[in-house]
């Protein structure tokens, strides 16, 4: 009995020091101090679902709920930013640019640039499985962090926080000009030639469930044309379509 109590107290002390260290590092990353009454929110924002297995933590104590809120807050902030930055742009342009900014690939890039993945809390069983570099996890982590900033600092501060992040880490001018919907381009190319639409098939999957890599092949008129690899089926399809277009255009 005494041995179990000693082990429990030692574990609690370790967790206290670990949480304190995590918050300290996060404050450096975010560039502002986090008051004691708000530290719990930020710790939840850093807590991956895998932590449920090894600790007495419920799903709502992970970043999942915060990710839901952060997604909505981020969408509104980015909408305002592009609306103000491009005063004469039409709805279609603004919608496409916003989608490029808030998509998982961009958010994962921001999370990595900020290095918030280095202070993410992951369960012991999942440790070393690449969770902290998974693009989908990084994107979720970023959205959860935006929610934490919004809840503790308010909308005006969060707006400036996101705006500054985009200025530092994202080249909007290049992003707006980049034509990266290769699937649409390939479809339009084939339609102009009165040829059948392309078909996409997943031909391989590798890696753990939380961080799979998909290989997708694109077939034109039933014949294999090219293939692409990506961390989602959509990404792999885009890469395959891009390669097919390059081959068709010489």
Q: Examine the residue annotation and report whether 71 is marked as an active-site residue of this protein.
A: yes
Rg of the chain over all Cα atoms, to the nearest angstrom: 22
- The kind and range of the H/E element at 154 are none
Q: Examine the residue annotation and report whether 61 is marked as an active-site residue of this protein.
A: no
> Which residues pair with residue 227 across a beta bridge?
217
> Of the listed 67, 121, 140, 143, which one is catalytic?
143
> Of the listed 67, 71, 140, 242, which one is catalytic?
71
Q: In 3D, which of 246, 99, 94 has the Cα closest to residue 185?
A: 246
Measured CA to CA, the distance from residue 125 to residue 100 in angstroms comes to 34
156 vs 99, 102, 152, CA distance in Å? 22, 19, 11
Interacting residues of 35 by C-beta distance below 8 A, sequence separation 6+: 152
By annotation, the residues acting in catalysis are 71, 143
């Amino acid at each position: 009995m005494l041995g179990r109590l000693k082990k429990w107290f030692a574990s609690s002390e370790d967790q206290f020091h670990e949480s304190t260290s995590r918050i300290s590092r996060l404050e450096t990353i975010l560039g502002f101090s986090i008051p004691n009454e708000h530290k719990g929110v930020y710790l939840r924002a850093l807590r991956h679902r895998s932590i449920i297995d090894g600790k007495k933590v419920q799903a709502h104590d992970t970043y999942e709920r915060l990710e839901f809120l952060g997604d909505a807050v981020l969408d509104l902030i980015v909408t305002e930013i592009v609306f103000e930055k491009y005063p004469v742009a039409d709805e279609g342009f603004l919608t496409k640019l916003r989608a490029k900014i808030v998509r998982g690939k961009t958010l994962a890039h921001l999370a990595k640039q900020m290095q918030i993945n280095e202070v993410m809390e992951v369960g012991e069983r999942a440790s070393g499985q690449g969770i902290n570099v998974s693009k989908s996890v990084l994107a979720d982590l970023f959205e959860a962090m935006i929610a934490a900033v919004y809840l503790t600092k308010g909308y005006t501060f969060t707006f400036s926080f996101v705006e500054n992040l985009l200025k530092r880490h994202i080249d909007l001018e290049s992003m707006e000009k980049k034509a990266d919907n290769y699937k649409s381009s390939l479809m339009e190319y084939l339609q102009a030639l009165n040829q059948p639409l392309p078909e996409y098939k997943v031909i391989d999957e590798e890696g753990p469930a939380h961080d799979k890599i998909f290989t997708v092949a694109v077939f034109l008129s039933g014949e294999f044309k090219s293939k692409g690899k990506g961390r989602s089926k959509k990404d792999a399809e885009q890469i395959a379509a891009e390669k097919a277009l390059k081959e068709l255009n010489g």
